[in-house]
Amino acid sequence: MFALLIPMVLSLAPQLAGMIFGSKGADATAKVAGVVQTVVGAVADLSAPGGAAAAVAHIQTNPQVANDLAAKLTDLHLQMQKEQDAEADELRKDALDELKARLGDTGSARDMATELAKAHSGLAYGSVVVSVVIIAAFGWTTYSVLTSHLSATDGQFGSILVGTLAAMATQVANYWLGSSIGSNTKNAILANAQNNLATSIPGHLLTGSKPG
């Protein structure tokens, strides 16, 4: 039904092409059809057989109706664009909140270790011991796999074990390196992200208040 209207609609409002053929095309199509129905009124019923053809003929033969439809389609495009922008802003805000939460969790773990060290608690050395064990296990296992003549099954198991320990060793490196120079870099990245998002997210989204 609406396929008959698409060429005529896009000739009046080509900017709607991205909406109609986008990820939410069905919703955009329904809204456009509603605007067309409002403009043609009782002249054509788009839900009835032949209604779309009658609507196209009516619009094409009446310049004033075509102009009215073009204006309403432009307004519809602006409205849908604002909705898309608001959704994108909300996604960016959620991404920033998630980033802040992750960095906050990492910072909290390091702060706790620092406080334990100041209190001369034996728990302060827990992270050191775990890190040494992981690195040592990674080095010994890698050496054993590379220098031993293992069967196919044992070799496959050894490779999996090395891969697992390598991932753990990477986390150890990230923990210790991130606690010094890396933490400053992360703070700079977070600050830059906050500044960039502040210019694109409306103020009421950040504060939680309703727009005036």
Mean pLDDT by groups of 10 residues along the chain of 212 residues: 79 88 84 89 83 87 91 91 85 77 59 56 60 81 75 70 80 63 53 55 49 50
Alpha carbons within 13 A on the beta-carbon side of 181? 2
Q: Would you state the pLDDT for residue 205?
A: 47
In a 10 Å sphere around its CB, with 0-12 CB exposed, 13-18 middle and 19+ buried, how is residue 43 labelled? middle
CA dihedral 63, 64, 65, 70 (to 10 degrees): 90
Report the pLDDT value the prediction gives residue 68, as an integer from 0 to 100. Answer: 92
Q: Distance from first CA to last CA of the chain, Å, rounded? A: 41
Backbone CA torsion sign across 14, 19, 23, 24: negative
pLDDT at res. 206: 46
Judged by phi (left if over 0) then psi (alpha if -120 to 50, else beta), residue 120 lies in left
Domains in the chain: boundaries: 2-88, 121-207
Which residue in the block uniquely carries the two structure tokens 């008959």? 4
As given in the structure block, the two tokens for residue 54 are: 């009658």
Distance of CA 105 to the CA centre of its chain: 21
The answer, as to whether pTM is greater than 0.75, is no
Question: Is the CB of residue 60 less than 8 Å from the CB of residue 11?
Answer: no
